[in-house]
Amino acid sequence: MLRMKMNMRMMMKMMLVLAVAVAVGVEARGGRGRLSNFLNNDSGPSGNSLRKFNTRANPIARDDLDALSGSSEENIGLCASTPSVANLNTSMPIPDSYNSHEAYSKCKPDILQQGSCGSCWAFATTGVLAQRMCIKSEQIGQGYELAPQALVSCTDQICYTKAGDRCSSPSSTCYCSLGCDGGYPDGAFRFMQDEGITPELCVKYVSKDGTDPLECSDVQTMVSECTATSNATVNGDRCYYHSSSDIETIQRDIMQHGPVLASYEVFEDFGEYDSGVYTCPDDGSDSIGWHAVIIVGWGVEDNTPYWLVQNSWGTGFGIDGYFKIARGTNECNIESRLVTSLVNTEGVVFASTSGAAVAKPATAFLAVAVAVAVAAIFSTN
């Protein structure tokens, strides 16, 4: 469970403060150094005839994979149980291959870098929302980049019970995201429903080193100091889950509305991935943790159906920041942990690519009223 993993990390941090020897031991592992080398070094594939995918010359170490994997093992249960609210066109033909970033090239985002912070949950939720807003608006601008840092720095606000009520601190009934120590994607979607989210132009990402130097009050100040050309309230529908047994519905949702968020189990050999179609090990290996990513399309390679996935580990990972994972077999549980949301861009003024127009909040915590179509306020219907 994510809460167990978070508690273990917090206990480790306390031990580091109390015992210098422990701190020296952790540093001696060189985990941060190895991760830094990976983040800044794009080594080509080494190749391995025994594997179904090509492997890296400098694989990511297990400890570093653990630091990068910050998604929840379970959903809180805050979203609709089916995608019926999406009003999907069930007669829509499904092609053998599809790439949302090619179909809507103006909405193709940069591949971002979460660094050694377990903030994948924040990158994936804001990334899905930004791309869906761009696809629906058919416009382009820097305003489509939302601020994962706003979620990372304000996790003391992202606490919910399974009934959807706000709560104050982690417990057996209170599910809280914990910044660089991980978070709940559906909790983040619900938070953006309740409070909104600000553009990346207002709050830059500063947690690449695995720490969070900002308080939530700092984020509020940054948002309030952004200049807006006009305000518009963004309303939309609630988030919803997908069933792993209905692959075609997932595909139609991606084609009709845009990419979806998926969380999957990370195994040690995933750190070796360079290209090809990844499949989970079948040797009984224990998973390291869960990682949140964005499914943008699908295809077939060497007769193996796959999902095309956008990661947040920079362009040095995988296929220029993307990877392929087997489709239709719930590989690493990726098809059982899908969540996304609809958006409504009516009345929104979008930012120019120069960044001259950015968001300014009206009354809510994080830019409920915005100028760049990036505050996600969802209805609770």
Reported residue count of the chain is: 381
- Residue type at 112? L
Q: With residue 7 as reference, give the H or E element that holds it.
A: helix 2-18
Task: Return the ∠ at Cα 314 (arms to 79 and 279), rounded to 5°.
Answer: 65
75, 231, 257, 311: the catalytic one is 311
Residue 291 a catalytic site member: yes
> CA distances (Å), 51 to each of 22, 44, 252, 286, 372, in order?
37, 16, 31, 19, 45
The string of DSSP letters for 14-40 reads HHHHH-HHHHHHHHHTTHHHHHHHHHT
> CA distances (Å), 283 to each of 161, 208, 286, 305, in order?
36, 33, 9, 22
Task: Return the ∠ at Cα 327 (arms to 322 and 332), rounded to 5°.
Answer: 80
The string of DSSP letters for 118-179 reads --HHHHHHHHHHHHHHHHHHT---GGG-B-HHHHHHTGGG-EE-TTS-B-SS-SSS-EE--G
The answer to whether 107 and 144 are in contact (CB under 8 A) is yes
Residues β-bridged to residue 303: none
Q: How far is CA 244 from the centre of its chain?
A: 19
Residues contacting residue 376 through CB under 8 Å, at least 6 positions apart: 129, 133, 146, 192, 193, 196, 197, 234, 236, 341, 343
The answer to whether 254 and 248 are in contact (CB under 8 A) is no
Among 9, 121, 10, 130, which Cα is nearest to 75's? 121
Residue 75 a catalytic site member: no
The answer to whether 112 and 98 are in contact (CB under 8 A) is no
What is the 8-class DSSP label of residue 89? -
89, 291, 330, 381: the catalytic one is 291
The answer to whether 268 and 291 are in contact (CB under 8 A) is no
Residue with tokens 């609709």: 80
Residues annotated as part of the active site: 291, 311
